[in-house]
Chain A
Amino acid sequence: MSKTVLMDFYADWCGPCQMMKPVLEEFEATHGDVEIKRVNIDEEEELADKYNVSTIPCFVLERDGVEVAREIGVMPLKKIEKMLEK
């Protein structure tokens, strides 16, 4: 089975990112098979650069290390789940 990782690029000063915290917690509780990797862009600047992230919140879905979906901005759980269809 392929390994699925959802990367959440955020910052402490980003209000919309705070809004996504409870949404991601709900996602985590219902999708145990997806690994969630939270990336604080202030602490992991290189990673943000590598992924070419310049707007947050930004969510990148990877399957076996390959990016298959990317969404920017605040969004409801449903929309994050939709990324899994990719």
Chain B
Amino acid sequence: MRSYDVVIVGAGIAGMTAAIYVARAGKSVILLEERMHGGQIINTINIANWPAEPGISGAELSQKIYHQVNNLGVEVEYVKVLSVEESDEYLTEQDAKNAARRLFVVKTEDGDYTAKAVIVATGTEPRKLSESQMKDAGKRTVSYCATCDGAFFKGKPVVVVGSGNTARHEIAYLNNIASKVYHIHHDDPIPEDAVAVFVAIGRVPNTDAVKNIVDLDESGYIVAGENCKTSVPGIFVAGDCRVKDVRQLVTAAGDGAVAAAGVLAYLA
């Protein structure tokens, strides 16, 4: 089994920032990422609110942070984490006597890791279409990113599902490309002539792997205050998967630093 001081689940902005702090403090750390480092932001072409670099693309920003992490000697493994569990072992003999800090086991599709502390920075993902709408969509393209896939439907009718901010942005973007942009709400029937379905019905947290160990709120977000401490000592949370009001790049990075500081204090 591979052992680290700290295992960070998720290599988005929050997770990578946490890794920078933890590595600089001299702890061994690994980032486990299911998809691609950078996370949600890689779909954004033009970032307006990252200090010092207005207009930078999400891909470039992610790549820059990734290099910074890499240069600090942090390993990044691309693997899906299945669960985080408490083991029977303690960090020290003193901990065993006090029934205090236990080692954690992070189970993945490709073997297990042990960690003295864990930071969960798994972010969110788009909420999927309902089953009936999926059926309705049939063989048509279903996309969760107009800026990624809109260009394929030049001069063709498309439909946007959703009623929030993201839906409005997708509609504005597609209006410049498609011949017609239908707008429907969650669970409305999909117009027959639409050749592609763009879905913007909100996001859901990626917290399945930790739902059995830390407290989640009714929407699945990990319950923790601004100190990023979860209901389990030794497990910290950072970024969009935490219960919070403002989900932005800078708050994700901020969480990364706070969670890392929490981990370092916990391990001290």
Contacts and interface: CB of A to CB of B under 8 A. Distances in A.
Nearest to B60: A18
A50 interface: no
Interface string A35-70: 000000110000010000111100000000000000
Interface of A: 11, 13-16, 18-19, 22, 41-42, 48, 53-56, 73-79
Interface string B40-60: 001111000000000001111
Secondary structure class of chain A's binding surface, majority of residues: loop
A19 B60 CA distance: 8
B36 A76 contact: yes
B35 interface: yes
Given A11-B151, A15-B42, A19-B59, 10 more contacts: A13-B45, A13-B151, A15-B44, A15-B57, A15-B148, A22-B63, A55-B141, A74-B42, A75-B36, A76-B78
B134 to A, nearest CB: 16
A19 B59 CA distance: 6
Contacts of B143: 55
Secondary structure class of chain B's binding surface, majority of residues: helix
A19 B45 contact: no
B148 A55 contact: yes
A41 B36 CA distance: 22
B141 A42 contact: no
A18 B38 CA distance: 12
Given A55-B143, A78-B78, A19 B36 contact: yes
Contacts of B59: 15-16, 18-19
B259 interface: no
B196 interface: yes
B45 A15 contact: yes
A10 B60 CA distance: 16
Nearest to A77: B78
Nearest to A18: B59
Nearest to B45: A15
B173 to A, nearest CB: 11
Nearest to A16: B42
B87 interface: no
